[in-house]
Every structure is written in structure tokens, then in C-alpha cells.
Structure 1
Amino acid sequence: MENIRILHTNDLHSHFEHFPKIGRYLHQMQEKPNADEVYTFDAGDFMDRSHPLTDATEGQINIKLMNDFHYTAGTIGNNEGISNPHAVLEDLFDHVNHPILLSNLREEDESFPKWAKDYEILTTKKGTRIALVGLTAAYPMTYGPNHWHIKMLGETMDRVLPEIEGKYDVLILITHVGLEKDRWLAKNYPQIDLIVGGHSHDLIPNGEKVNQTWITQTGKWGNYVGDIMLEVNDQHQVVKIAPTTISTASMPEEAGDEQIIQGYLEQGKQILEQDHVAYLPEKFADDKVAAIQVSLDAIAHFANTDLAMLSSGLFLSSFKVGTLTKFDLQKALPHPMHVVRTKLKGSDLWRLVMEIEKNRHYLDHFPLQGMSFRGKIFGQMYYRGIKVDKLHRIVYVNGQKINPEKDYQIAGLDHYVLVPFFPTLAIVGENEFLFPQFLREVVGDYLAQKYPITQEVK
């Protein structure tokens, strides 16, 4: 009989406030595992550019901290794969100390990224062969414009499984595809013994068994760490899988933890504050609407459209008067979102505006999570170039009554395509995702042109 311990994390999202505790727990279990072998896996979204230090270092601080956790293997999430420009992701893992497993992502020439491995075969001291396969969420609409080719899950599994057939005794998937897709994998590929998952932020305290496959996930932000015991018999067959999760809050604090956590924030702030973006006039003082309006102009300019829309909940603060730094912008607009240019017939644009107006009061205080949103509430929707006569249900575009047969283009965000409140965008919109700049970078570039730093008071 052989006992194998698997420690795992997912969706840490640069929540460095938990890292001192998580690091100690992993090291303690790695050093004294009470098992014949111990492996440590991460299932993606380890980084999040809403944290100043992650943003300032383009994720390199996360790689350093990953190495400190002594992972055996991991995969990437959408925050690594989509929220980074192609060039940043190309070099993100240059200094990582463990294999990054990712079977379903390719360069545009169909080659593997230089940092990715298709799969890995581990062999325990007692000779058990463990195959590891990594998968990330398949989003063609966003990977494509970022110059990657993402492969569908079924297509990938149908390719990989024949390649590794006969090479393993235990099959483990490390996935960032979400619980529903993990269940689909378990139902359609019964040879999988264990899925170490992420992406949907589900906390499964003691795992979930689908047919013969166990699925595990630890929620989000490092609130929990996964701890799994596997029993394998002398014929290298899995006898038992027992998943558990450990609350990070239950782990002991140590003197100096808070200083380390605050140090990450302060270091990121200091780096970003060195980069001056624009010099803003007094009209922006404590005026979030002014920030929204200039940001509407910014995304319209970026997308080369007359029309634009943004929601107030995106703006966590108004823009700072005087010298605006990258830190100020990051604090105001922390979301890893991209601008989308949508083409709609006039009749469909009218319908979109009606959807927005119908949901306006509901969304004003709606607590939104996911879809790359890093704020608290959705808020009010603001338009550029659009006016609405609510009483008569008439929409005006640039002062003219909307033409139902004319084509219009409007700038928005990938966020609005993903949220369920405005289905017209996803159903009939011709959506073009514009990469690589984030929303805050688009706004920053526009402010730099409109209010150049040459006006800065020395």
C-alpha cells in the first residue's frame, strides 16, 4: 500500500494577505507529509493585476512567490492567459521552478508556448506512475485577439489520452475550467481519477465524486487550501481518494505577517507612483462623473466609434487632480477588462438601450462578482452619443432619431458581453475584442494626450 498526499490551491488572485499562512502550511506538510509522497499543485489564476505589485511587476512577483510555495506542477487561468498581453505571457514563466501544464493552448503557428508542457508523468518511490494533464478555460473570443489559439476541451482530451495511454497508473487533471466543465470531463472521460480544479470559485470542502472521478476545488482568494490523501495498492491501483480543505483563517498568524502583506502593497504603490500619466485640471476634483465622461471619450477614441457606454461601478474612485500616476489609475480602475467594439443594426441598438433602461434601477446597487469585475456594485450606465426619451421609448444617436436599418458601432467592454443583463450584445452583436490594453491603460493613454504631463507643476 502507498499513501500519496496532494496539496493544492486555485484562484489565489494575488490575495497576498493569505500568503504567509499558506506558505507555512504548505512547507509544514511538504516537510512532514505523513505519507509516502507529497505533491503540490496550483490550478490557475495565481495572479491578478488588480494588486499594485502584480501590476507593477507584470506578474513576476507572483512567480517568485509561486517558487516559494514549492509547487510540483500547475496550470494557468484566464488571469494569466487573457489579462496579460501576449508578450507578457510569453515571458511570464521564464523563472518558474515547476512545470506549467497546458494541453489546450497554442501559438498562432500551432506550436506549444515555450513555457508550457503538454503533460507530465511523475513516478513515486514505489513505482506508481502519475500522469498530470493541465487545461484552462477555452475562450476563443478573447484568446484569439491576443494572438493565441485555444483548443476545446473535448478536442484536447481526445488527442492527449491516446498519447499517454499505457504510460500511467493514476490520471490527474489540473484544470481551470470551472465546476460544470469538470463534471463534464468526469462524465465523458472515466479514466480520470482526480480533477484538481478552479475558475468557478466553488468551495467543495470534501470533494465531489462524479461516477469514479473525484473533483476538488478550494473556492477563491486563498481562503482555503486543499489537502487530499490517495491510497494506492501494490498493483498501483487507486483504492481511496479522500479530499479535504483547510481554512486559512484557522491557520496561526505569526509576528511580521502584517508587515509582509503591507510591504507588498507599498512596494507596488511606490513603483507605480513613479510613472506619471497626466496632469488633470480642477474639474476632476471629487467628480466621478467627470472621470466616467472622459473615459467614455477614451474608449470611443480607442475603438474609433462615436458611441460608447460605461457603468459607474467600474470607477472605485474619482480621478486625482494634478499629477495622475499609474497607481492612481490602478486604484480607480483595477479591472482586467478590455474594450469591445460592437456593430449593431439600429433596431438592435434600440433594443440594447431598452435593456439597459429596463435594468437601470436594478443594477444601480446590484452586487456584482466575476466577469473580471473588481468593484462592489454594477452602478449606473452612462452613454456617449446616445440620448433616450424614456416616456416615448425613442433613442437618439448623435442628436438624430435612431435609424432601424442603419449600422452603428458602439464601444463597451468585454464585461458587458459576459454579464447576462444585456443579451442583445452577445446574441446579435458583431463583437470585436480589442487587445492588448486594459481599460485603465486605454483611459491613461487618452488622458496623457488630452492633459499632457508637460503641464505638471515642477
Structure 2
Amino acid sequence: MRRKIVLLHTNDLHSHLDQAPYIHSIIEQQKKEHPDDLVLVIDCGDHMDRMRLETEATDGIVNVALMNAAGYDYAVPGNNEGLTFTMDQLKAAAQKANYRILGANMRRQDDENPDWLHGYDVVEDQGVRIGLLGVTIDFNDFYRLLGWELEEPRGTVKKWFTSLQERRPCDMMIVISHLGIVHDRLLAEEEPGIDVILGAHTHHLLMHGEQVGKTLLAATGKFGDYVGKVTLTYDIDRREIVNREALCIPVIGSGYQPHPVSSHILQHYLHESKGRMKEQVSELKEELDIHWGKESVLGNLLASGLQNWTKADIGLVNSGQILHNLPAGGISREMILEICPSPINPCLMQLRGKDIREALEQSLQLQYQQKPIRGFGFRGEMLGNLSISGMRVYVDTQAPEGERIQQLAVVNDNGQELSWDDDAWYRVGTIDMFSFGIGYMSIQSGTVEQFFVPEFIRDVLVRQLNQASELEKARQRRWWDQTLSG
């Protein structure tokens, strides 16, 4: 006698919620095509992304509502859920979920794990016992600031796998992983008893899966472009899987229509969210500009804000974090989200003068200003030049690349210039993205003193917009081209 188990899976949707009604239709159709088989619907993390209006306004409740409607059975928190929402926000969203949330390597620092979070689950279906275990990437430098402690994930899988098999062996073992393709491959090599790893995090697309030893890896890329389908055929008499198949179903272009239920949910939350996000957070007397290739008021304002927020000597941020100008008049939460959507946190670093100089030199080059950036929290288009605070840069734009900076100076609170030392260490208020070696690479050479969570750089910007003295200071030049008069 043979039994089929079908795993429908998604990953890294990142709140591309317009895909959700199509995903709902695919899931519904697949269940109709497998009326006698066990069908489990699984999300592997990063379904939520706070760059999306509805997700930001509802603290992820809209994502939960769409997953409930589509009939998800399991989900693993990705880093976008775990690191951009507080514990209370996660609890409020999780309590509305009709699916089981698995995170075997997640625990609170007080060891009192929330009742909505589970390590594993076991499903028994017509004599077949299926174990499901969820793990997520262990970014503990950030998780600890939010009250979490994450265990090393691959070791956690080995521990739980051994424990389950000792107590009551499972006929098949499924790992739901938000670790990335490299960790998934290593996990398959280290623990050959795993039958399937459903993957995420690195946005890898495995159209027909990937076999590593006895383990089938599956993943659907990103942004809801595909729904994954893994079909396992289990021979009950022989007590073994006799066939494994994986494929990815295109969400758009396969003839599926948006499901009316999910479409209605999305429209409801869009209307509700727009109402919430109309809240005014500031009032501007004149338009504030942003440029990705030269100094601008909004760039200066954010750099000063990071310096103030982190109590640093210097502020440093790429102008590409801000997407467009802010007009005169009332400024709403929605407008702030539109111009600064990246869920990026302030960061305090110690940087050597020569590493700052190198980044500033690169900032004058078009190849860096127009460099596209993907991931690591960045939701903009290109890197942009460096906006600065607490210093002045004197340049000769006619000089060869790499030799354009003529002089640097630290500027104190009284506006006085202090001498610069390439060998000295400076306390720099910047962004967590730079500490990962993204964008201006020399900045990674520094030492992180503190990450600031759960605040985002848009929270820093709002505070700056409401301080007249900061607005005035942002209009003062920080970059001086010595080839120009004045």
C-alpha cells in the first residue's frame, strides 16, 4: 500500500501581497487535485516585510489573515519577522494564526518560551508518521537586543532529530529551514536521515529540487513568484519513501486567477491601513530634497540624526536610503514609509580615520553612487553617495579618482574644525547594513559598539523633521569642492 504526501511551500514573500490571491488559488487547486492525499501547506519565513504599507500599518496581521485564508498549516519565522517586530507584536500576530509556528532554535532569554512558538510537530496519517521541524538563522547580535536567544540551528536540528527518533521514530522527517542554501546543503550532509529540507533566506530557486545524498532540497526563490510542490510517495509495507518529486509552479502566467477571498482581505486591509498611515508626524515649511550623487538636505538630516541617536562624533549614511523628496506641508506616516522603506537599524561603530577616508573617496565615484544593492534590509534602488555629519570634506573634483579628497576635519558642536587623523579611531553613528560589508566596504573594517533595535532609520528621520534646529543644520554644507568659487 502506498500513500502520497504533498508539501506545498512558499518562502521569502517579503510582503509582495499582490501575489497572495494567486497563491491562494494555486493551493486550493492543488488540494482539489489531491483529495485522497495528505496535503500540508508551509511557509519558510520572511512572509512579512515592513516596507509594505499594509504590513507596517497592521504589524503583520494582514500577512497572517492571508495565510489563514489560503489554509497554511505551518510557518517558520524568518529574520524579517523575528528582527523587525517586537515580541509583543509577534505575539499579537501569532495569536491570530490558524497555523502552527515552528522555531526549534528560538527561545526567550528568560527561558519562558511563548505558547505560540513550537519546536516541532508530528503528523500521523494512515499509518505514516511525519515529523516537521523548523529552524531559523541565528543573528544573535540583533536577536539578543529583542530578548531572544537563538541556538546554533544545525546543531539544534541534530539534537531534536535524535530526540524524536529515540522516543518514537518518524517515518519521514521534514525540516523547514530559514537558513539559506549553504546551511541546507551542509545540514543534508550532516544528517542524512532528513528526507526533505524546504529552504529560504538566500532567495534560491530550485525548480525541480536538488538532491544532496538522501535528502531532497526545495525552494521557490523570492517574492511569491512560485509555489513549491514536493510529492513524496511512501510505501507503507516497506516503510520507506519510494519516490520524491519537486517542482515550482509559476504564480503568474499559469492561468490562475486571484482568489476572491484573499483579494477581498487585501482590499480590506489596504483601506484600513491607508487610514492608519494618514497620521501626521510632521509639518514642513518647504520641500526637502534628496540626491544620490551629491549633498542634499534630507541626506544631511538623516546623517545628523544617526549621529545624535547614537551619541557619536560623526554621522555616516548612504543617501540611497531615502527614495525621493519630501514636499512642504503635512507629512504622514505613509509618506515617511514611501521615502524610507528599509527596515534598517541605527548602529554605533568605531572606525579608523583611513577607513572613513576610503569610503568618502569612493562616495565621489559614479560606480558607487549608482551601485545596485539587494538584501540586508535595503529596499532602495542604488547605494547613493555618503551623507555626513560632524565633519567637513574638502575635495578637488578634477583630481583622479581616489585622490580627490584634499582635507578632512571633524566639526564639534560649536562648529569648530578639529584636525583629522587617519590613524585615529572615531565613534560613528551609521547603519547596520554597513557592518555586514554591504556598499562601502571599508566601513566593515570597524568595530560595532551597539545596534539600536527595534528603531528603524525612518524613526530617526521623523525625530529630525520635528526639530527646527536640525532642519537648519541640515542646510549647512558638509562637502566643499575647492575647484568651485564660494
When normalised by structure 2's length, the TM-score is 0.86
SS in 1 for 2:145: coil
Q: How far did residue 334 of structure 1 move?
A: 0.6
Assess, with a 3 A threshold, how the Cα gap between structure 1 residues 132 and 450 changes in structure 2: closer, same or farther: farther
Amino acid at match of 2:454: P
Q: How far did residue 112 of structure 1 move?
A: 2.3
| Within-5 A mapping of 1:45-444 | 45-124=46-125, 126-165=126-165, 166-234=168-236, 235-249=238-252, 250-253=254-257, 264-273=269-278, 275-284=279-288, 289-344=296-351, 348-358=352-362, 360-389=365-394, 390-391=403-404, 394-398=407-411, 399-404=417-422, 406-444=424-462
Distance 1:20 1:98 in 2: 18
RMSD, matched Cα: 2.3
Q: How far did residue 111 of structure 1 move?
A: 3.1
Greater mean alpha carbon deviation, residues 159-168 or residues 362-371: 159-168
Amino acid at match of 1:248: V
Q: How far did residue 447 of structure 1 move?
A: 2.1
- Conserved 8 A contact 1:132-1:171: yes
- The residue number in structure 2 matching 1:33 is 34
SS in 1 for 2:84: coil
Amino acid at match of 2:444: A
Q: How far did residue 75 of structure 1 move?
A: 0.4
- Conserved 8 A contact 1:51-1:265: no
Distance 1:368 1:287 in 2: 17
Cα deviation per residue 1:375-404 (whole Å; 9 max; x = unaligned)?
111111111123335446643222223235
Q: How far did residue 243 of structure 1 move?
A: 0.3
Amino acid at match of 1:56: A
Assess, with a 3 A threshold, how the Cα gap between structure 1 residues 356 and 190 changes in structure 2: closer, same or farther: farther
Q: How far did residue 372 of structure 1 move?
A: 0.8
Q: How far did residue 290 of structure 1 move?
A: 1.6
Assess, with a 3 A threshold, how the Cα gap between structure 1 residues 103 and 280 changes in structure 2: closer, same or farther: same
Q: How far did residue 285 of structure 1 move?
A: 6.2
Q: How far did residue 362 of structure 1 move?
A: 1.7
Q: How many corresponding residue pairs?
A: 447
Q: How far did residue 189 of structure 1 move?
A: 1.0
Distance 1:451 1:277 in 2: 17
Distance 2:263 2:196 in 1: 36
- The residue number in structure 1 matching 2:474 is none
1:20 matched to 2:21? The reply is yes
Distance 1:46 1:367 in 2: 23
Assess, with a 3 A threshold, how the Cα gap between structure 1 residues 52 and 361 changes in structure 2: closer, same or farther: same
Assess, with a 3 A threshold, how the Cα gap between structure 1 residues 149 and 260 changes in structure 2: closer, same or farther: closer
SS in 2 for 1:133: strand
- Conserved 8 A contact 2:25-2:256: no
Q: How far did residue 270 of structure 1 move?
A: 2.5
SS in 2 for 1:317: coil
Assess, with a 3 A threshold, how the Cα gap between structure 1 residues 264 and 377 changes in structure 2: closer, same or farther: farther
- The residue number in structure 2 matching 1:456 is none
Greater mean alpha carbon deviation, residues 382-391 or residues 200-209: 382-391
Q: How far did residue 309 of structure 1 move?
A: 1.1
Q: How far did residue 102 of structure 1 move?
A: 0.3
Amino acid at match of 1:222: G
SS in 2 for 1:222: coil
Cα deviation per residue 1:337-360 (whole Å; 9 max; x = unaligned)?
10001123xxx2322331342364
Distance 2:444 2:303 in 1: 21
Cα deviation per residue 1:222-255 (whole Å; 9 max; x = unaligned)?
1100011101112331111100000011233359
Assess, with a 3 A threshold, how the Cα gap between structure 1 residues 259 and 381 changes in structure 2: closer, same or farther: farther
Amino acid at match of 2:153: L
**Could you say which structure has the larger radius of gyration?**
2
Identity %: 27
- Conserved 8 A contact 1:336-1:438: yes
- Conserved 8 A contact 1:279-1:451: no
Amino acid at match of 2:59: E
Unaligned ranges ≥5, structure 1 = 453-458
Amino acid at match of 1:96: A
Distance 2:213 2:39 in 1: 26
- Conserved 8 A contact 1:171-1:194: yes
Distance 1:242 1:420 in 2: 37
When normalised by structure 1's length, the TM-score is 0.91
Give 4+ residue runs of structure 1 displaced > 6 Å after superposition: 255-260, 285-288
